[in-house]
Amino acid sequence: MKITNKSNEKIVCNIDDKYACLESGQFIEITNDKFKILSFKKTMGSYSVLATKDSKILKILSLFDDPFKLMKEYHLVIGCTFEKNYICSFQEIEIFTQCLYVDWDIQTYYDYVLIKGNGQTVKPSFANVSGEKEIADDFSRNNKKLNRWLAVWNVLIEPIVLEIVGYIAVYWLFSVWLGAKALYLVLALLMANVLIEVLIVFMKRKKHIKQELQFKSLLSKQSIMEKCYIKS
């Protein structure tokens, strides 16, 4: 069997307990009766990057509502494994890589290896996320920090600091009729705004819990197989 790396990335090919690292365009040949398990994966593990990495405008805007650079994209790097009977009928197989945007809400991608034999996609015996625990911990830790920061932003900084010009304008306008009492009106509006934001923060807690569950579901073998391989 001839195995050729048709992707633009380095691919690690594990043949039972041995492995080979294939550069783009490289190939190896193996004897079909000399292996039981064959697996492929990228050389890197799963990782996260700043969501603003490609946009200067977003980088500037992120200074206001995400100064600690917590908004990230998550790339789940998928490796696939084949038992001998799944793949030994092919004389030649080709390795490709693809990137699939699987969840807009939590900005998550599948970066996966795709194997083709005779031009047809070969479904693996199973697939898994490389560096699963590390990327899960990264998401959980980062998401908690981001949600805490957004709560501070929405409850304190935005209504009190950034909207102060608006409150001054309200005070100036109503002081014509109400005099010093206009200050009480402004304070009442401020307190009402803060109270509303606090209620919204508590309501969003369910969303944060849902995001954790969403991410965990994307790590499951069932989700990987359905989105990356069964559809193919």
The answer to whether 35 and 15 are in contact (CB under 8 A) is: yes
Residue 109, domain member (yes or no): yes
Q: What is residue 74's three-state secondary structure?
A: strand
Domain that holds residue 102: 2-130
The reply to whether 143 falls in a domain is no
Closest CA to 66 of 161, 160, 142: 142
Please report, for residues 47, 49, 181, the alpha-carbon distance to residue 53 in angstroms, rounded to integers and kept in the order given. 14, 7, 49
Percentage of residues in the chain having pLDDT higher than 70:
82
Ramachandran bin of 82, using left for φ above 0, alpha for ψ from -120 to 50, beta for the remaining angles:
beta
Look-up: residue for tokens 């479904």? 123
Q: How far is CA 52 from CA 2, 57, 142, in A?
A: 41, 8, 15
Residue labelled with tokens 């009402």: 192
- Both structure tokens of 92: 């030649």
Q: Would you say residue 135 lies in a domain?
A: no
Q: Are 56 and 88 a contacting pair, CB within 8 Å?
A: no
Assigned domain for 27 exists: yes
Beta bridge partners of 2: 29, 92
Please give the distance of CA 27 from its chain centroid, rounded to a whole number. 32
CA dist., res. 188 & res. 30, Å (int): 77
pLDDT value of residue 54: 52
The pLDDT assigned to 161 comes to: 66
Residue 100 forms part of a structural domain: yes
The structural domain count of the chain equals 1
Residue ranges for the chain with pLDDT beneath 70: 32-33, 52-70, 154-163, 176, 197, 201, 203-205, 231-232
Ramachandran quadrant class, 134 (left: phi over 0; alpha: psi -120 to 50; beta: rest): alpha
* pLDDT recorded at residue 60: 54
Most distant CA pair in the chain, distance: 93
- Per the domain annotation, does 29 fall within a domain? yes
For 227-230, the CB contacts below 8 A with 24+ separation are 227/100, 227/102, 227/110, 228/78, 228/98, 228/100, 228/110, 228/112, 228/114, 228/127, 229/80, 229/121, 229/123, 229/124, 229/127, 230/123
Amino acid symbol at 138: D
Beta bridge partners of 81: 39, 126
pLDDT, tens digit, for every residue of 57-106?
Answer: 445 545 555 555 567 899 999 999 998 877 878 888 999 999 999 998 88
Domain-located, residue 152: no
| Residue 145 covered by a domain | no
Length of the chain: 232
